[in-house]
């Protein structure tokens, strides 16, 4: 079954298509870079860099196309926050490109099935013979691009799809048998030597070159400059107040992403900072004198602390491609005196390993596309007996399960559109193992709610927590949410911040209020007893299908 579902991995079909593309077409009147949702930057962007190089060589202008596809967003559970972040970044990009006299044309297209035809008809209208795009690894997107390639070939257009999302591209890191890795440690060992490959991930790609000013005068291209980016997509608008909150928490643009990186590499955590919405308000540009004290310096030991703001918070920027993963790795190399540090023993090394997890899950999606089709990687867990309980699911989403750390995590997601990794694992495992609710419902909610929603990492994280994925937690390893809470939030500050009903609870009671204290609080009691829920989960996983 598994082999059948993964047959004809569309990524390799697309790469075959790329080989068959029209070779050396006439130069056309312009070169197009087709920007995608995961490419929200101008610098260090593979397809944009190559498109610009060809435009300069051919002496024709470079045009940038972005297609908004509401049906795709809805089909893939893209949330309003993620869409809003895309639109905000597009506006920054539009301004930066305009300074280079390069137009960004944003098109909204429905229905999704006819998108390839629409794009190709625009290429014909613009008299374009060369199109460049970075690859999106989701199955539907790959199938779309295969169709685009076929149509382009028939129309005498050269379509070049390039790897860009990962530091090391899928297809390069594989087992001796030519298969994808399903265990992280050997993947990491095989990944590292590729850092020395050509094209070299450790050097920045050339930025696009400005269009010659006469290009603006062209009848067709001139009008592209006046194109407005919509404020929202119908049906995916942000709720009142949320837009402002998202703008503060996650400012758009490459400069913001770079500041976030500097903040992480060179400044130290100043406690939880949970009340401070804007992460860049704390002087990201004032490096600490002792680099060992910086967030990355402390990352090895402090990264799991929910009450200490120790991680980079770069995930929204990496998921949308506002910064490249290569740039993150390069910055760590510079900090380690020119060496690649991916060891478990240093802060930098541990952080590099996390960035490699992002590559790993994208490779898993490319090699085992069934994971994105609602199937478990480990097929033996396809028939686990799940509870259908709307009330429990809704309480989990709202942060009202009566388990403080779970509720704090879910409320962080609901207010910030982001969660710390540890609390993602705790909340996910609680839904799946304690409430025994199907992991796919949690996966969907995270995609809809988180601003960093990324199919590969989200699916990887959920299948890890549900014990159904690659290199996943064994099914009998079930987090105790109360001991997890004490370890990850020893001060209780994180819970008190996100669960105001508990803001006056002192000491360890905040992790698990019980007895008289619980009676007095306006806070729900848990639906299940952890020890009993744990037994139930083990029983049901051991013999899938069992009650
Ligand atoms: P840092 O600790 O600073 O790590 C740096 C970067 O490495 C991150 O920005 C991210 O790009 C990458 N990274 C770190 N941990 C992981 C990981 N476990 N898997 C993959 N990449 C990782 N990450 C997303 O970007 N999008 C998601 O939709 C997403 N969903 C998740 C769902 C679950 C159930 C779990 C357990 C994890 C999920 N993650 C997801 C991974 C991880 O939780 C976040 O990347 C991380 O919390 C982001 O915070 P940060 O940028 O401060 O991370």
pLDDT tens-digit map of 160-181: 999 999 999 999 999 998 889 9
Give the closest residue to 360 by CA, choosing from 179, 183, 175, 178: 183
What Rg do the C-alpha atoms of the chain give, in angstroms? 24
Contact 401, 526 (CB under 8 A): yes
What digits encode the pLDDT tens for the residues 75-100?
Answer: 999 999 999 999 999 999 999 999 99
What digits encode the pLDDT tens for the residues 7-20?
Answer: 678 998 999 998 99
Is the minimum distance from the CB of 269 to ligand 1 under 6 angstroms? no
- Tokens encoding 85: 């972040």
CA distances from residue 216 to 110, 119, 507 in whole angstroms, order as listed: 29, 22, 66
- The verdict on pTM exceeding 0.90 is yes
What digits encode the pLDDT tens for the residues 438-488?
Answer: 999 999 999 999 999 999 999 999 999 999 999 989 999 999 999 999 999
Question: Ligand 1, atom 4: nearest CA belongs to which residue?
Answer: 354
pLDDT at 349 over 80: yes
Ligand 1 center to 460 CA (angstroms): 10
Is the minimum distance from the CB of 126 to ligand 1 under 6 angstroms? no
| Strand bridging mode 104-108 / 62-68 | parallel
Question: Ligand 1, atom 43: nearest CA belongs to which residue?
Answer: 421
**What is the full DSSP assignment across 26-69?**
---SEEEEEE-TT---STT-HHHHHHHHHHHHHT--EEEEEEE-
Ligand 1 center to 269 CA (angstroms): 19
| Mean of all residue pLDDT scores within the chain | 93
pLDDT at 491 over 90: yes
**How many Cα neighbours within 13 Å face the side chain of 77?**
21
> Hey, which residues does 131 pair with through a beta bridge?
32, 159
Q: Of 296, 430, 461, 488, which is best to mutate to test ligand 1, by the most ligand atoms within 8 angstroms of its C-beta?
A: 461
Mean pLDDT calculated for residue range 271-293: 70
Catalytic site residue from 259, 421, 448, 493: 421
Catalytic site residue from 237, 386, 414, 480: 386
pLDDT at 399 over 70: yes
- Tokens encoding 363: 């490779």
| Structure confidence at residue 143 as a pLDDT band (50, 70, 90) | very high
DSSP state of 162: E
Mean pLDDT calculated for residue range 355-382: 95
Is the minimum distance from the CB of 260 to ligand 1 under 6 angstroms? no
Which pLDDT score is estimated for 477? 94
Is the minimum distance from the CB of 445 to ligand 1 under 6 angstroms? no
pLDDT at 198 over 90: no
pLDDT at 217 over 70: no
Mean pLDDT calculated for residue range 377-400: 96
Is the minimum distance from the CB of 316 to ligand 1 under 6 angstroms? no
| Structure confidence at residue 4 as a pLDDT band (50, 70, 90) | low
Which pLDDT score is estimated for 65? 97
- Tokens encoding 151: 């149509």
Task: Give the span between the Cα atoms of 391 and 371, in whole angstroms.
Answer: 27
Is the minimum distance from the CB of 453 to ligand 1 under 6 angstroms? yes
Cα 119 to chain centroid distance, Å, stands at 26
Task: Give the span between the Cα atoms of 58 and 63, in whole angstroms.
Answer: 14
Give the closest residue to 418 by CA, choosing from 381, 455, 450: 450
Which pLDDT score is estimated for 5? 63
pLDDT at 544 over 70: yes
Task: Give the span between the Cα atoms of 534 and 479, in whole angstroms.
Answer: 9
Question: Ligand 1, atom 45: nearest CA belongs to which residue?
Answer: 315
Task: Give the span between the Cα atoms of 211 and 222, in whole angstroms.
Answer: 12
| Structure confidence at residue 289 as a pLDDT band (50, 70, 90) | low
Contact 101, 214 (CB under 8 A): no
- Element at 208 (helix H, strand E): none
Concerning whether 191 is annotated as a catalytic residue, the answer is: no
Question: Ligand 1, atom 12: nearest CA belongs to which residue?
Answer: 355
Catalytic site residue from 53, 150, 259, 354: 354
| Structure confidence at residue 409 as a pLDDT band (50, 70, 90) | very high
Which pLDDT score is estimated for 229? 95
Largest CA distance in the chain: 80
Is the minimum distance from the CB of 451 to ligand 1 under 6 angstroms? no
Is 409 annotated to bind a ligand? Reply is: no
Task: Give the span between the Cα atoms of 93 and 99, in whole angstroms.
Answer: 10
Which pLDDT score is estimated for 52? 98
Which pLDDT score is estimated for 212? 87
**What is the full DSSP assignment across 106-159?**
EEE---GGGHHHHHHHHHHHTTEEEEEEE---SHHHHHHHHHHHHHHHHTT-EE
What digits encode the pLDDT tens for the residues 236-277?
Answer: 999 889 999 999 999 999 999 999 999 999 988 877 777 777
Task: Give the span between the Cα atoms of 310 and 189, in whole angstroms.
Answer: 26
Mean pLDDT calculated for residue range 322-327: 97
- Measured at the CA of 382, the angle between CA 378 and CA 385, to 5 degrees, comes to 130
Q: Where does 234-378 have alpha helices with state H?
A: 242-249, 254-266, 295-302, 315-319, 325-335, 347-367
Give the closest residue to 479 by CA, choosing from 412, 511, 431: 431
Concerning whether 386 is annotated as a catalytic residue, the answer is: yes
pLDDT at 285 over 60: no
DSSP state of 402: S
Percentage of the chain surpassing pLDDT 70?
96
The ligand 1 atom at the shortest distance from the C-alpha of residue 299 is 2
- Tokens encoding 257: 């992403």
Is the minimum distance from the CB of 312 to ligand 1 under 6 angstroms? yes
Catalytic site residue from 126, 191, 250, 357: 357
């Amino acid at each position: 079954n598994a082999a059948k579902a993964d047959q004809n991995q569309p990524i390799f079909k697309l790469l075959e298509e790329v080989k068959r593309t029209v070779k050396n077409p006439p130069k056309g009147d312009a070169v197009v870079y087709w920007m995608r949702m995961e490419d929200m930057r101008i610098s260090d962007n593979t397809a944009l860099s190559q498109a610009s190089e060809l435009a300069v060589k051919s002496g024709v202008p470079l045009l940038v196309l972005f297609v908004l596809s509401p049906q795709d967003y809805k089909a893939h559970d893209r949330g309003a926050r993620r869409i809003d972040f895309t639109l905000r970044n597009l506006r920054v990009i539009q301004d930066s490109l305009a300074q280079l006299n390069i137009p960004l044309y944003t098109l909204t297209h429905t229905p999704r099935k006819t998108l390839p035809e629409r794009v190709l008809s625009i290429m014909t209208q613009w008299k374009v013979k060369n199109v460049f795009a970075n690859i999106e690894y989701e199955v539907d997107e790959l199938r779309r691009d295969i169709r685009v390639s076929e149509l382009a070939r028939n129309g005498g257009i050269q379509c070049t799809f390039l790897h860009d999302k990962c530091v090391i591209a899928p297809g390069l890191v594989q087992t001796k048998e030519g298969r994808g890795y399903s265990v992280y440690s050997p993947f990491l060992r095989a990944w590292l030597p590729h850092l020395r490959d050509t094209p070299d991930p450790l050097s920045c790609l050339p930025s696009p070159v400005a269009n010659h000013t006469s290009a603006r005068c062209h009848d067709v291209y001139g009008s592209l400059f006046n194109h407005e980016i919509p404020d929202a997509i119908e049906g995916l608008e942000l709720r009142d107040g949320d837009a402002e909150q998202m703008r503060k928490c996650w400012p758009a643009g490459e400069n913001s992403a770079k500041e976030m990186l500097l903040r992480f590499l060179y400044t130290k955590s100043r406690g939880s900072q949970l009340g401070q919405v804007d992460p860049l308000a704390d002087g990201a540009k004032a490096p600490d004198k002792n680099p060992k004290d910086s967030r990355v310096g402390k990352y090895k030991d402090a990264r799991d602390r929910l009450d200490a703001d120790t991680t980079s918070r770069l995930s929204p920027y990496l998921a949308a491609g506002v910064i490249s993963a290569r740039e993150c790795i390069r910055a760590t190399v510079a900090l380690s005196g020119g060496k690649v540090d991916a060891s478990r023993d240093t802060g930098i090394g541990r952080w590099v390993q996390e960035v490699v997890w992002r590559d790993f899950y994208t490779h898993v999606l490319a090699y085992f596309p069934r994971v994105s089709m609602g199937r478990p990687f480990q097929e033996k867990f396809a028939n686990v007996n799940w509870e259908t309980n709307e009330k429990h699911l809704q309480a989990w989403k709202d942060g009202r399960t009566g388990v403080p750390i779970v509720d704090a995590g879910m409320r962080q997601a609901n207010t910030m559109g982001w969660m710390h990794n540890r609390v993602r694992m705790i909340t996910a495992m609680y839904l799946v193992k304690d409430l025994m609710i199907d992991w796919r419902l949690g996966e969907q909610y995270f995609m809809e709610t988180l601003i960093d929603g990324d199919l590969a990492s989200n699916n990887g994280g959920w299948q890890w927590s549900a014990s159904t994925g690659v290199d996943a937690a064994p099914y009998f390893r079930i987090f105790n949410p109360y001991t997890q809470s004490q370890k990850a939030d020893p001060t209780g500050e994180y819970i008190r911040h996100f669960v105001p009903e508990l803001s006056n609870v002192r000491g360890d009671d905040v992790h698990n209020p019980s007895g008289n204290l619980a009676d007095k609080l306006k806070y729900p009691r848990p639906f299940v007893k952890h020890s009993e829920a744990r037994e139930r989960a083990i029983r049901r996983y051991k013999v899938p299908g069992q009650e």
